[in-house]
């Protein structure tokens, strides 16, 4: 291999960083984000470079567990230590063969390897992914599921700050009439034009979701992941005629194809930790381009590393196929990198430095929970 690209992994260091939401974020079925653990990984090389990864699972949200990251990483140390991180996909294939499943663990490793590869090449990750197609990306604002009046206030504040896409969380109180009020009132408050969509995070029955959907079917509204299965989501879509975004049910190629065949994937959330990192997210991105699904490119939760990684994928995607992105780091404290990408007039830009282009502040990391050396 060309000198400069012949690196060797010498160490893996892992931190647990609690991230506190500025405003507790309520979803259906008792799911909430108040303080949530994010896992931050540094992969060091013998040559003196480092790459950063992050994964921040929300409890009860997906099969992913922050405290499972350390033992899974110990299990993968024999594959990673001594290996060349450049040319990420071969090494990640070996990781997936060694530890089946656990895509959220593969995700933070994969992100760190893309960071190292970008630094070795002296280019941002979006250049490695095919090149910059959007220097600025549209953000949505996610509105915690509280009283409809308060959700209207949050939507109006976000709109004043330039946001044009509003995700209205539904189902936290199991009252379908209140969900109707949430959607109608936010739709009315933001006026014609902006995108408004209601996300149940799998928490509705088919009957309740259909009642809500039919009660707002005269409005310009999109629905998101009302029920736990794709088949139920497809049934709600066909009963209401409203467009549908799939989130929790889309996590690999097979599930994307299934959603497409069921005709319920007008839009889809591509989250790094559902798929297993940047490598698999870009495959999903390319499949969505083929089947014509608009993409929300993001992660479950997290701070500056997860946010930057998703922005690199989104920035290298044809703009007409990008529904939106999420400034996860803007919902929580602390910021891992205070100079990381930040919301500006409803839009956000990927970092432009080599690799991911973000570096955590050591003061925010504290003591590591795990340190492994070759």
If binding is defined by CB under 6 A, does position 269 make contact with ligand 0XW? yes
Shortest CB 257 distance to ligand 0XW, Å: 21
CA dist 168 and 266 (Å) reads 17
Q: Return all residues near 307 (Cβ < 8 A) that are at least 6 apart.
A: 299, 326, 327, 328, 329, 340, 341
Q: Dihedral sign for Cα 220, 226, 230, 233, please.
A: negative
Q: Round to whole Å and give the CA distance between 274 and 102.
A: 9
300 binds ligand 0XW (CB under 6 A): yes
> What single string gives the DSSP state of each residue in 109-150?
HHHHHHHHHHHHHTSBHHHHTT--S-SSEEB-EEE-SS-HHH
Is there a catalytic annotation at residue 271? yes
Among 37, 54, 179, 199, binds ligand 0XW (CB under 6 A): 199
Which residue in 179, 247, 304, 327 binds ligand 0XW (CB under 6 A)?
247
Rounded to a whole number of angstroms, the minimum distance from the CB of residue 90 to ligand 0XW is: 30
165 binds ligand 0XW per the rule CB under 6 A: no
Helices (H) and strands (E) in the chain, counts: 13, 15
Residue 31 is a catalytic residue: no
Determine the residue with CB nearest Mg ion. 247
- Contact residues for Mg ion (CB under 5 A)? 199, 247
User: Side-chain half-sphere of 45: how many Cα atoms within 13 Å?
Assistant: 22
The single residue among 79, 186, 326, 358 that binds ligand 0XW, judged by CB under 6 A, is: 326
Q: Which of 31, 169, 245, 274 is catalytic?
A: 169
- Which residue, 142 or 165, has its beta carbon nearer to ligand 0XW? 142
Buried b (16+ CB within 10 A) or exposed e, 24-56: ebbbbbebbbeebbbbbbbbbbeeebbbbbbbb
> Which residue among the candidates 31, 119, 271, 274 is catalytic per the annotation?
271
Instruction: State which residue, 128 or 267, has the beta carbon closest to ligand 0XW.
Output: 267
Residues that bind ligand 0XW (CB under 6 A): 58, 142, 199, 201, 247, 269, 300-301, 326
Kindly list the catalytic residues. Answer: 169, 271
């Amino acid at each position: 291999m060309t000198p400069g690209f012949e690196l060797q992994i010498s160490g893996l260091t892992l931190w647990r960083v609690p991230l506190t939401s500025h405003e507790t974020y309520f979803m259906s079925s008792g799911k909430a984000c108040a303080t949530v653990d994010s896992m931050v990984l540094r992969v060091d090389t013998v040559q003196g470079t480092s790459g950063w990864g992050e994964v921040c699972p929300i409890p009860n949200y997906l099969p992913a567990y922050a405290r499972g990251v350390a033992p899974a990483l110990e299990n993968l140390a024999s594959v990673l230590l001594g290996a060349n991180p450049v040319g990420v996909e071969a090494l990640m294939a070996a990781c997936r063969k060694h530890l089946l499943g656990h895509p959220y663990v593969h995700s933070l490793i994969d992100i760190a390897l893309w960071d190292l590869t970008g630094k070795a090449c002296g280019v941002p990750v979006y250049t490695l992914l095919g090149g910059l197609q959007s220097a600025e990306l549209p953000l949505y604002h996610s509105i915690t599921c509280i009283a409809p009046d308060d959700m209207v206030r949050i939507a109006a504040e976000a709109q004043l700050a330039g946001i044009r896409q509003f995700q209205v969380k539904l189902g936290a109180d199991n009252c379908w009439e209140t969900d109707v009020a949430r959607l109608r009132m936010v739709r009315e408050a933001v006026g014609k034009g902006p995108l408004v969509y209601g996300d149940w995070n799998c928490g509705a029955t088919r009957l309740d979701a259909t009642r809500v959907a039919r009660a707002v079917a005269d409005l310009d509204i999109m629905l998101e992941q009302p029920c736990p299965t794709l088949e139920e989501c497809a049934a709600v879509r066909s009963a209401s005629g409203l467009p549908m975004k799939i989130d929790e049910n889309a996590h690999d190629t097979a599930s994307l194809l299934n959603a497409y065949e069921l005709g319920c994937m007008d839009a889809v959330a591509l989250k790094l930790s559902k798929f297993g990192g940047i490598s698999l997210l870009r495959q999903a991105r390319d499949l969505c381009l083929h089947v014509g699904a608009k993409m929300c490119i993001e992660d479950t939760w997290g701070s500056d590393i997860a946010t930057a990684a998703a922005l690199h994928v989104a920035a290298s995607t044809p703009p007409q196929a990008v529904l939106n992105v999420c400034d996860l780091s803007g919902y929580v404290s602390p910021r891992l990198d205070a100079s990381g990408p930040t919301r500006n007039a409803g839009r956000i830009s990927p970092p432009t430095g080599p690799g991911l282009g973000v570096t955590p502040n050591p003061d925010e990391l504290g003591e590591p929970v795990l340190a492994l050396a070759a």
